[in-house]
Structure 1
Amino acid sequence: MVREMGNNNNNNNNNEEKTNASTTTSAYSSPGSTPGVPLVGGYKNGHAKKKSLLSNCKCLGANDWTLEDGTFSPRVFCSLPSPPPVSTARKVGAEFVGTFILMFAGTATAIVNQKTEGAETLIGCAASSGLAVMIIILSTGHISGAHLNPAVTISFAALKHFPWKHVPMYITAQVIASICAAFALKEIFHPFMSGGVTVPSGGYGQAFALEFIISFNLMFVVTGVATDTRAVGELAAIAVGATVMLNILIAGPATGASMNPVRTLGPAIAANNYKDIWVYLIAPILGALGGAGIYTLVKLPEEDAIIAKASAPNSFRG
């Protein structure tokens, strides 16, 4: 009896040692189809290999992962059920509301700044648009993705992160929201002043270059935080909002820093001012496509990034 109890104790100790060894280092990695939702697995120090990844696990939408036998014992938490899918109508509705809020906030600030002879200041205009983007992403991002911009929608579709069949519906919602916000402001503010229309203060060449570059900057950041599962997705709203603020500080005095075709289109229709509007319809789309494409070229391959994070002593997620 004593020998049997001793054997049982030894077995229990061995099991505990194996369990502790298999969970020595914990690393966080997000599956490709669920940005911002980490899939938790354990790595043994010194045993992480290129294919030592979770695969064929369907929890939290994880796909295309594999487990190399004998390398480590993963711990996966799958207790939360997947949320029900959002209908296309709800997505389009959320996109309309989000774009309306953004257009109303950004354009209203520009009108008030003009009516008060610069009381809002450039920093105030930048903060207004940046904060609007942040709160809209936080409130509707989980429903529609909070594109708010035809250039963003087209770029996501080009990267195959968004279905092309939904592009016309999203852009239609964005355009209608922009027009509605512009005419609402026209009824509220008397006089309407310039109506918050973005027009170049210099030549159209300078305006095109600036709009291209700031749209490139915006989409580069958006692609990183929204499509790369290794990015800190929880901070996406702050990153994108800060980028909008930075771009307005850079290009606001020269072009109005549109970055968005509907930011210009709605106010232009309400104010009947179409000066150099082609710049604001073309440059943001080309710049966004460039930013999205360049990010996909420079980002670290996913498997290499996971190994780097597993071995880094100061890894943010490690």
Structure 2
Amino acid sequence: MSSSNDIEEGRIEASTQSRNDSGSSSSRVVFLTQKFIAEVIGTYFIIFAGCGSVAVNKIYGGTVTFPGICITWGLIVMVMIYAVGHISGAHFNPAVTLTFAVFRHFPWSQVPLYMFAQVLGSLLASGTLSLMLEVKPQYFFGTVPAGSNIQSLVIEIIISFLLMFVISGVATDNRAIGELAGIAVGMTIMLNVLVAGPVSGASMNPARSLGPAIIMHNYKGIWVYLVGPPIGTILGALAYNLIRFTEKPLKDLTKPASFLKTVSRK
């Protein structure tokens, strides 16, 4: 039979374990909350600055200019990557989050949280711009196909492919200079907007298109921007990892878990 001391020690151990489990759970909640807030804030300012430059350019007679819009998108993405990349991984894009998860380098359990944060940030920024600038329908700052939907779909796939290809190269390959990741990704955004902006709006990001569409009730061609970027990012990650230098055989390279290492902290 157990002595009273043994029983008391067992109670103490059980109580200590319970506190440790509770502390671990609380730490996880705090950490996820920090990531959520970082994604909301990062996406908010990307949409506020990028879409804001589009709206201001339309409202005030081209004062920003098209090259200015391209530079704005590139700069704000670069700035926010350096600002919160070490907290959330700086996804700011449901297509990027989905790609990381597909290749098993980002937990599926956090995907809904990230996507909700990104769409919420886009909605808040779009609402701010709409109220602050009193944007009329003709000054819509979202993305709509200039030509056919198929044309915009193809170009969204291509530029999203390039975006994820660069992310894979500069942010997930340990041979790259990680400190330059923000610059490389920001410049890729700028180049993509220069090339594809007049055609599709150069979204590359479902949240970027969805926020303005919901706030201003303009859903023209919205499916293009929900379908095209995820296809492009998945193909871009796949392509980079097929050419990544490794001594592994091709059959191992083509396993999803071997494809991509995310900079996001799990």
Bin for the TM-score computed over the shorter chain? 0.7 to 0.9
Q: Which structure 1 segments of 5+ residues have no match?
A: 1-83, 304-318
Query: Which of 141, 147, 150 is matched with 1:196 structurally?
Result: 141
* Structure 2: stretches of 5+ with no match in the other structure: 1-26, 249-266
How far apart are the structure 1 equivalents of 2:123 and 2:177?
Answer: 34
Deviation, 1:223, is 1.3
Identity of aligned residues (%): 50
1:148 equivalenced with 2:92 (yes/no): yes
Query: Cα RMSD over matched residues?
Result: 1.6
Match of 2:151 in 1: 206
TM-score, scaled relative to structure 2: 0.80
Is the contact made by 1:219 and 1:292 (CA closer than 8 Å) also made in structure 2? yes
Aligned-partner residue type, residue 293 of structure 1: L
Instruction: State the alpha-carbon separation in 1 of the partners of residues 165 and 82 from structure 2.
Output: 19
Structure 2 residue identity aligned to 1:244: I
Q: Which residue of 2 aligns with 1:301?
A: 246
SS at match of 2:111: helix
Q: Does 1:94 align with 2:32?
A: no
Letter in structure 1 aligned against 2:237: A
Given residue 131 of structure 1, which amino acid in structure 2 is its aligned partner? L
CA pair 302-166 structure 1, distance change in 2 beyond 3 A: farther
Which of 254, 258, 283 does residue 203 from structure 2 map onto? Answer: 258
Give the TM-score, by structure 1 length.
0.67
Q: 1:279 aligns with which of 221, 224, 229?
A: 224
Instruction: Specify the code of the residue in structure 1 equivalent to 2:164.
Output: M
1:6: which partner in 2?
none
Matches within 5 A, 1:20-31: none
Instruction: For 1:187 and 1:181, locate their aligned partners in 2 and report how far apart those are by CA, in whole Å.
Output: 10
C-alpha deviation, 1:224, in angstroms? 1.4
Contact kept? 2:59, 2:139, Cα under 8 Å: no
Note if contact 1:155-1:292 (Cα within 8 Å) is conserved in structure 2: yes
The secondary structure found in structure 2 opposite 1:237 is: helix
Query: Where does residue 187 of structure 1 map in the other structure?
Result: 131
Partner of 2:194: 249
1:226 matched residue in structure 2: 171
1:86-125 deviations in Å (ceiling 9; x for gaps): 7111011101110001011111000011112222122111
Letter paired with 1:181: A
Structure richer in helix, relative to its length: 2
Given residue 211 of structure 1, which amino acid in structure 2 is its aligned partner? Answer: E
Superposition deviation, residue 302 in structure 1: 6.9
**Is this contact kept in 2: 1:194–1:271, CA < 8 A?**
no
Question: What is the rounded CA distance, in whole Å, between the counterparts of 2:247 and 2:99 in structure 1?
Answer: 21
Matched AA of 1:138: Y
Which protein has the larger Cα radius of gyration, Structure 1 or Structure 2? 1
* Structure 1: 4+ residue segments shifted above 3 A: none
Alignment partners' CA distance in 1, 2:140 and 2:49: 13
The CA deviation at 1:200 is: 0.7
The one-letter amino acid paired with 2:139 is S
| Distance in 2 separating the partners of 1:255 and 1:204 | 9
Total equivalences in the alignment: 220
Equivalent residue, structure 2, for 1:135: 79
In 2, distance between residues paired with 1:222 and 1:121?
28
CA separation in 1, counterparts of 2:163 and 2:176? 16
Inter-partner Cα distance in structure 2 for 1:137 and 1:275: 30
CA distance in 2, matches of 1:116, 1:184: 18
Which residue of 2 is the match for residue 75 of structure 1?
Answer: none
Greater length-normalized contact order (CA 8 Å, ≥ 6 residues apart): 2
